[in-house]
């Protein structure tokens, strides 16, 4: 297996991460369209809508931070 064959899956994954990151960066939910689902014991779930624009922005920022942290962790494991 040559170097290009080894790199191809990694480059594909990097491109997918870039696309996902761009989607999240552009994420701007409409009012009332964002909710958090809590899974409870006994296969029950509770849906909590996020109606505040400030909370939506904060949540979006947290998602972006989480994805960036996950990417850094993956890079550290590979090195």
Lowest mean pLDDT among 22-31, 37-46, 59-68: 22-31
Question: In Å, how far are 14, 29, 32, 58 from 45, measured between CA atoms?
Answer: 34, 22, 18, 23
Q: What would the pLDDT profile of 47-77 be if each residue is shown by its tens digit?
A: 888 777 787 778 777 877 888 888 888 888 8
pLDDT above 70 for 1? no
The pLDDT score that the predictor gives to residue 35 is 78
pLDDT above 70 for 33? no
Q: At what angle do helices 53-78 and 3-25 cross, to 10 degrees?
A: 170
First to last CA, the chain: 20
Read off the tokens for 16. Answer: 């997918």
């Amino acid at each position: 297996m040559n170097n290009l064959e080894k790199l191809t899956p990694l480059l594909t994954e990097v491109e997918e991460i870039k696309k996902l990151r761009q989607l999240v960066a552009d994420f701007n939910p409409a009012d009332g369209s964002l909710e958090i689902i809590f899974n409870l014991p006994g296969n029950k779930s509770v849906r909590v809508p996020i109606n505040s624009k400030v909370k939506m922005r904060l949540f979006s920022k947290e998602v972006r931070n989480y994805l960036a942290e996950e990417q850094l962790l993956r890079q550290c494991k590979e090195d």
